[in-house]
Structure formats: C-alpha cells, structure tokens
A and B are shown apart, each in its own frame.
Chain A
Amino acid sequence: MGRVVLVTGVSRDLGRRFARQLAESPGVDRVIGVDVTPPRGDMGKVSFVRADIRNPVIAKVIVREHVDTVVHMSVIASTGGPGGRAALKELNVIGTMQLLAACQQAPDLEHLVIKSSTAVYGASHRDPAMFTEGMNATRTPTSGYSKQVAEVEGYVRGFARRRPDVRVTTLRMASIVGPVITTPMTTYFKLPVIPTVIGFNPRMQFLHEHDALGSLEHATLNDVPGTFNIAGDGIIMMSQAVRRIGRPGLPMPAFAVSTIGSTMRQARMADFSREQVAYLTYGRGVDTTLMRTRFGYEPRFTTAEAFADFGASITPGVIGVDRVRHAEEIIAGALGGSRG
C-alpha cells in the first residue's frame, strides 16, 4: 500500500503544483489537497477537500483518510489577496496550531513536512554572514512574518517532542523566485522602479521554484528528519539583482521604503512589510552544507541562475542587457572607427 499525503495550502500556486507533482510520483497512493478556497488551476489526480485547517474538521479528514504524511505549506508571507496582517497571522500561527493538534490525534501519521522560511533568522546588522541551522535570530523578531515563522517552528518542535514516532522535517526556504510563482520578492522585483535602502547593499539568496518543489518532494519521500536550510548556491547583492533585470533602482531612506511599501500594499501592487525592509537593508545568507550532506538534495539552480530565470520571464527594464551591449558596441565602434 502506498502513501497517503495531505497537502495544505493548495489554493496557492506552489501548493497546487506540489500536490500535482507528488500525485504523479510512484510511491504515493493518494494526495489530498486541503484549503479554504478551491485551487484555480488543474489539480490532476489530487483530490481536493475544502476545509479550514483552523477547524477540527481537518482532524476527521486525517483520521478517516488514513493520512500518513502531512505536508504543511500554509505558512505564507502574504495572502496575495484580501485580508490584512491579522488574518495572515491567524492563518499561519493558529492554523499550524490546529493542524498540529489534529496531527497529534492521528494514529496513522508517520511523517510531517513543514515548509518554513529563512525569515526565521530575521535580518539585522549583527547577523553572521551565513546562518547555519543551529543558529537563532540575532534579535528575536517581535512582529510580522519572522515572528510567525518562529512561532510555527516552535509549535512544530513541541509536536516533535510529543510524537517522537513521527518524522518531522522542517525546510527553511530562501526567497522563492521563478517564472511562474508570485511571492513578495517577485512582486518587488517586478516594480518598474525598485526602491532600495540608501547606503545598504544587502546580500540575498534565492531558491528556484523548481528546487522548492523538488526539495519538498525529497523531504516527503525520503527519511530525512531535521531542520534544513534550502537555498541556491552563492549570493547576489541587491545592486546586482536590480541591474541584472535592467530596472532602475531608487535609493531612499529605510523609513521611506516602508512607507512606500505600505502604500503599495493598499494599492495591491506590492507588499513589503517592516521585516522585509530589514531584509532589504541588511540581507541574509544561509549555509546549505546540511542540505547537501544530511538532507541529500542538490538544487538545480544556483541563486544567480534562479534569479536569471526569473528575470528572463519578466519584461526587461529600461537598462536591459541588450541595450547596454548595444551602447557599448556603438561607443567602441565610434571611437575605433574614427582612428586614421
């Protein structure tokens, strides 16, 4: 008998694609997708159950369907739709609590995979260059997504203590980018003019959506308990990222960036909250040694390649690579041709 996997958060693009991908893999019997709103795209073989993870109904679903693996993908940075910060917190923290409570009562449960985020490390000027899994945030985040992720991970650790028979894998993923996915980072880089924090050039890491799905599948199908950082190799600086997609950066003080961020949130253009402004100021890097050695996953895209793939999917900005190359040829030709 194959595995029965329950995937939360399938109304979002990443969750839906992961559920579909998992349903295709040979070791999996059934995939049950759960979310409050139905997914917009094709679900393939996945059976969708419309349920709220904040509701005890989810416990009944888990028990009745003999679910042995729960993949929790509902810890999200932005709702991407209606609902403010409070709703987001409700979904992330209370949702995880309820889901874990349901899991605790499930006799058939063997595996739990949590999609977490490197936002749990926060971002400050006292951060080490590369965070390893054993480190904590230099400053315990007091609000926002970072705090929610930290709380979620706390609940997950508590669950792991109470149910030692369940294998728990927590994947701390770097900012996911890719041609299809929409995250706060991709909306940020899709702005025609990119507001940056003046005088700072944060180091950033990205994870391609392909590798996000791949690592989640790897965690689901293999016996690799633990907490792992998942990110593409290498880092790129903010200035590099802005130049590579050929968009003009607009340096401004940090407070102005957060003001613009909240204005844009109201206009539904982009969403960058306070901790994201901290990230845009100080950046963050995570060490991925454990991802290769103990977790055993090799991402296909490096940070730079992931970003390039994302960049290729959007319309290039006014200072695109082709234009710069063209300008270079004109100048070189003009100066070279004038000789003699």
Chain B
Amino acid sequence: MADADIIPIGTRGRPGRGSGSQKPSASARNLAGAAKKSTPRKPAKSAEPEPAKKTAEKTAGKPVDERVEPTGPEIPEAASETASGAPAVEIPVAAQAKPAESHAEQFVHAAAEVASHAAARTSRLLRAPTRTDHRHPTAGIPAIDWLAAFTSASKEIFGENWEPRLAEFLAFLRRRVTGDYVVDEYGLDREIAHHFMLAALRPIAEKWFRVEERGIENIPTDGGALVVSNHSGTVPVDGLMTALSIHDKTGRYLRPLGADLVFKLPIVSELARKGGATLACSEDAERMLAGGELVGVWPEGFKGIGKPYSERYKLQRFGRGGFVSSAMRAGVPIIPTSVVGAEEIYPLVGNIPSLARLLGVPYIPITPLFPWLGPLGLFPLPSKWLIEFGEPIRTDDYDEGSADDPMLVFNVTDQVRETIQQTLYSLLMQRKSVFS
C-alpha cells in the first residue's frame, strides 16, 4: 500500500465544520431555526441584465447597438445573485467603458467578470441557510430519470412497439396544431371522428348498452343510401349508437341530418359538423345522397325524442315525408332502422313547456334522475339495446317526377313507418327485459 491514494478524511478544513472558523456548521444553523433571508433569487435574476445595459448606454453616450443585447444572458448566474448586493461593480465598469461598440461588448464581459468575483466573495459571506425547498422530492430527480419515466410511460401506453407509434402520435399532434388536416365540404373531420368521437362512444355501446345489431348486411357497402330510424331517448344518443354500429360493422360513416337547433348551439354545432352531420334540409340531403354518402335521418325529430315515457315505442308523425322525396330524387334505397333500448335511458316523465319556450328549446326534460340528482342525473340507465336494419326499400324504379307526387310520397313514408313500427314490436318481444 505504498502508493495508495490519499483518501481525504473530514471536510478538508472548510469553515463552519468545526475547523475553528467563526461560522457555525450547517447543522448547527439548522438547529437554530429560521435564519434571516438572503437576497431573493427571482427578482434579482430578472433585474440583472438591466443595470449592466444601462451603464453601457450611459457611457457609450448613444443607444446601445443591438449586438450588445444578446450578451446580457451570458453573464454568469452568480452575478445575478448579487447584482444588487455589489454596487461597487458599476463604478469600475463605468470608468473602463469606451464609446466604441466593440468596447461596449467587451466591457459587458468585463462587468460580468467583476460581478462574478464579487458574487463569489459575497456568497462566501452571506451563505443562504438550507431551506425546506431544498429537500423537495422533485429537486433531487435528475433529468435522465424524468426521461426514463417518460419512456416507460410511453411504453405503457403505446405497447412494445412504442417508438414508431409515439412518432405517429407526435406527427398527429403536429398535424392538429398546424391545421394540416382535411375536412370535407360539410365539415367531417375523419381523424377526429375516428380517433375521438367513435372511440369514446365504443365502450358505452359495448359495455353499458350492450348494443346488438341485426341485418347489418342491409347496409350497402358503397353508394348512397338513406337510413331512416325511430327517434327516442330525450337526448339523441340513438343516432350516435346507430352511427357507431354502422361504422364498426361496415366501415362507413353515417352522415346524420340534424335539426337547425343543433347548428345554433355553441360547441354542439362544432362537434356535429366535425362528426359529419349537416342540416336536415332537402338541399343537403340530396347533395349528400348524390355524392354517394350514407345519410341518416330521424323523421320524428323532437316529437320523437321528447315524447313522454308512457308513449315509448309509439312512432310519432313522420314529418312531411321530405326524406322520401329526397331519396327518390337521388334514386337511393331507404333502409328502415329500428332502435330498441333508447327509450329507457332517460325516461321522460315530465316537461316544463313554459321554461322551454322561454329558452327556445323544444322541451325541458324531467326524468326520475334529472334534475333531482344534478349532474348525476345525466347518467343514462343501462338498458339493453337492439338495432335492426331492415330490408332496403328501393326508390330508383319510380318514374321521373314521382318525388313531387304527394300521394306516392305519403304512401312510401307510411310503408317505411309501418316497417319500423312492426320491427320495434318484434324486437321488444325478443328482448327479455329492459336491462338484459
């Protein structure tokens, strides 16, 4: 052990460690309780570049060149802590300064140097006592650990193959932030509809309502078609569930036709447009159908979703049959669709017509849970859902101009209505109880 390293023992004689210096040790200071505060860090830091610049301005005798500014932040941090504590710094600096710009730059460096010396001096004198925030748990975690944590978190979220998927996710975020995505002329944003809206609805459909579809083969795989369905449930959840079922089973987006109220309400209108809805008017319906879209319409409208629970599964009037004319003009099939289960999610037992009129909405729902339980009342009851897509009713073999024949339109409307009503009854027979 002749040439063994000399292992230092103790504190190498630093003051305050029982080495006979005038200052007590750190532990002793801690025991003494709250000491007087040192100069506050934050304000000093922000104020720091100013005095240096100001002196430069003063001595240069003209506005400081732009190039001087970036040198401000280069001043070591130590200077910042004592900028106010060392007023002597400014005097030698002012004496040294020359009017030339390059000198101004040099002299800022010089100022920084002097300041840092002063800082070292004063920090030795005014050493800040240890405070509790030094013992804060996050203070001790180095950046590399944070990174490791993020990495394992992304592994957790994106699975084993996380790197490409994370890159994909970041690219997705970038596209959204920079607006680099495409919407169709009605405002359907496929990215949002696919990744967020339908994804959010899926667990509700599968776990809460346990939606079962029948006759999904009646939905054509391409070309225009008009899905006509009954409407119920106080809140138009049935439309969302139908759209989800169709998307999951056939990959097609159902384009709902919504009442004008939908497009008047803030947020709702934005979501509706992004989800692919448009206004229920013959122009839009015909345009969409002619464009080969799968269009969904709920001809009962507010009469359907706002009907009392006692009238459940009784179809209301089917409007003026405008949807039939639109389908006939476009020559697309009508798919009568029956939804069982939506009636029970928010059983509407009361209404406040006067308040509804005042607010300009079709009805104010009162259900067994709403508004009594407040936001809790917004939870739908977990009824069992059945959705049956009926056989398509063809409209392409009618003569030209039959869309304007009211008798024919009424007949077809009635046929669609009857089909949906009969299917509703048979579905209700098949369902064992409301909740199973």
Q: Chain A: residues with CB nearer than 8 A to chain B?
A: 125-130, 132, 135, 197-201, 203, 234-237, 239-244, 246, 282, 285, 287, 319, 321, 324-325, 328, 331-332, 334-336, 338-339
Contact = CB atoms under 8 A, between A and B. Distances in A.
B196 interface: no
B187 A246 contact: no
Interface in B244-277: 260, 263-270, 273-274
B359 interface: no
Contacts of B274: 201
A199 B267 contact: yes
18 contacts: A126-B279, A128-B279, A129-B278, A129-B279, A199-B269, A201-B269, A203-B187, A234-B182, A235-B183, A235-B185, A237-B187, A240-B179, A240-B181, A325-B174, A328-B173, A332-B167, A335-B166, A338-B144
Given A243-B178, A244-B180, A332-B166, A339 B151 contact: yes
A235 to B, nearest CB: 5
B185 A243 contact: no
A336 B279 contact: no
Interface size class for chain B? 35 or more
A233 to B, nearest CB: 9
Given A125-B263, A237-B187, A335 B147 contact: yes
Nearest to B173: A328
B6 interface: no
Contact of B151 (A125, A135, A198, A338): A338
B273 A334 contact: no
B177 A128 contact: no
Given A201-B274, A237-B187, A243 B287 contact: no
B154 A335 contact: yes
A236 B179 CA distance: 9
B199 interface: no
Interface in B186-232: 186-187, 189
Most chain-B Cβ atoms within 10 A of its Cβ — which of A198, A241, A243? A243
Contacts of B281: 126, 128
Given A201-B270, A235-B187, A237-B183, A321 B170 contact: no
Contacts of A236: 179, 183
Nearest to A135: B283
A328 B179 contact: no
Contacts of A328: 170-171, 173-174
Contact of B273 (A132, A197, A203, A244): A203
B287 A241 contact: no
Most chain-A Cβ atoms within 10 A of its Cβ — which of B148, B154, B278, B283? B283
B270 A335 contact: no
Nearest to B189: A237
A132 B284 CA distance: 11
Contacts of A125: 260, 263-264, 269, 279
Most chain-A Cβ atoms within 10 A of its Cβ — which of B176, B187, B267? B187
Nearest to A303: B185
A133 B74 CA distance: 64
B435 interface: no
A242 B179 CA distance: 8
Nearest to B170: A328
B300 to A, nearest CB: 20
Given A235-B183, A243-B178, A332-B166, A128 B264 contact: no
Contacts of B176: 243
B213 to A, nearest CB: 29
B163 interface: yes
Contacts of A324: 174, 177-178
Contact of A246 (B170, B178, B284): B178
A338 B283 CA distance: 56
A325 B170 CA distance: 10
A197 B270 CA distance: 11
A256 to B, nearest CB: 13
Sort A-B residue pairs by CB-CB distance and give the 8 closest, nearest first. Answer: A199-B266, A243-B179, A338-B147, A240-B179, A244-B179, A128-B283, A125-B263, A125-B264
A237 B268 CA distance: 15
A243 B147 contact: no
B398 interface: no
A200 B266 contact: yes
